Chains A and B, each alone.
Chain A
Amino acid sequence: EAAVTQSPRSKVAVTGGKVTLSCHQTNNHDYMYWYRQDTGHGLRLIHYSYVADSTEKGDIPDGYKASRPSQENFSLILELASLSQTAVYFCASSPGGTGNTLYFGEGSRLIVV
């Protein structure tokens, strides 16, 4: 069974603070993704990566940075957290790009106050 683990699973952050969400996969997949899920918007792609040490912007990258230090690890960084970034964040991996099944983690619930 494919495995994608996220940490932390839940976090409360203060406005203007820095938040790092981490993702680790044991699937040996090249592609990793960060999605945001909000009521009324569905899943939206923030950043993705297809190789270590390289990241690409998704549909809503503003206010977010990403880091892929190794094939297994992919982080999402909020340098200055804002109220509008309160959401559930999902990491996913896939063996290839579009056209391949995504394997999601359990999600990280972020509340910015």
Chain B
Amino acid sequence: QEKVQQSPESLIVPEGAMVSLNCSFSDSASQSIWWYQQHPGKGPKALISIFSNGNKKEGRLTVYLNRASLHVSLHIKDSQPSDSAVYLCAVSMRSGGSNYKLTFGKGTLLTVTP
């Protein structure tokens, strides 16, 4: 069973729409959670991270974390064609004892049409 699951696998929205991306994880003792953006042929780039339950807003991005339901979501307001990319959820999860490691989801492919 995948430890970090993202949905949907892909999403097509018109320019200006609100985008919602979901990520579920299996470890209630997880630490920080990141969202990375990856454009075609490029390396992932960190967008936003969250540690505490609740929400965090940075510009057009808002992330919501609910540890009780093991769920985090990323919302992009007023989406632009330049937002078209793969979005990766990465969760810091226990890997034995007091050690933690970063586990990535498979990603959501977002396409924003002009």
Q: Which range contains the number of B residues in contact with the other chain?
A: 20 to 34
Does A45 lie within 8 Å of B101, measured CB to CB?
yes
30 interchain pairs, CB-CB under 8 A: A4-B43, A40-B106, A41-B106, A42-B104, A42-B105, A42-B106, A42-B107, A43-B44, A43-B104, A44-B104, A45-B101, A45-B102, A59-B101, A90-B44, A92-B43, A98-B31, A98-B32, A98-B92, A98-B100, A99-B31, A99-B92, A99-B100, A101-B34, A102-B34, A102-B90, A103-B46, A104-B45, A105-B43, A106-B41, A107-B43
Using a CB–CB distance below 8 Å, which chain A residues touch chain B?
A: 4, 40-45, 59, 90, 92, 97-99, 101-107
Q: Which residues of A contact B92 (CB under 8 A)?
A: 98-99
Using a CB–CB distance below 8 Å, which chain B residues touch chain A?
A: 31-32, 34, 36, 41-46, 49, 88, 90, 92, 100-102, 104-107
